[in-house]
Amino acid sequence: MKSFIATVLVALFFVLALLFGARNEQLVTISYFVAQGEYRLPVVLGAVFLAGFLVSWLFAIYHITKVRLQLRKANKKIEQLEAKLPAEILSQSTQIEHQAKEVNA
């Protein structure tokens, strides 16, 4: 649900930027390191917004992947530790977890 809301907000900001640019049809001069070009304002706003979105998305994917790998590693560690525990202790911990869920519900 959070990702849907975030996607809708990004889409709304993009449309807002395009509407703002459509109301301002002037030419903008952009200087590169070597060259220079004149572009219409809506094109510049759309390109800059899209570039910023893509950079943010790449950073988010990197951090999400990093967290997922840490979670996978932690789950493997938990499984290894649980395998070392005797069966009696596991059944007791399962009962405690079940009781805690009933209390929270």
Closest CA relative to residue 52, chosen from 21, 26, 80, 13:
13
Q: What is the DSSP letter of 38?
A: E
Which pLDDT score, from 0 to 100, does residue 88 have? Answer: 64
Q: Measure the CA–CA gap between 46 and 94, rounded to whole angstroms.
A: 54
Which pLDDT score, from 0 to 100, does residue 19 have? Answer: 79
Contact indicator for 30, 36 with CB cutoff of 8 Å: yes
Mean pLDDT of 65-92: 84
Q: Measure the CA–CA gap between 30 and 54, rounded to whole angstroms.
A: 21
Indicate whether 20 pLDDT > 80.
Answer: no
Q: Measure the CA–CA gap between 85 and 80, rounded to whole angstroms.
A: 9
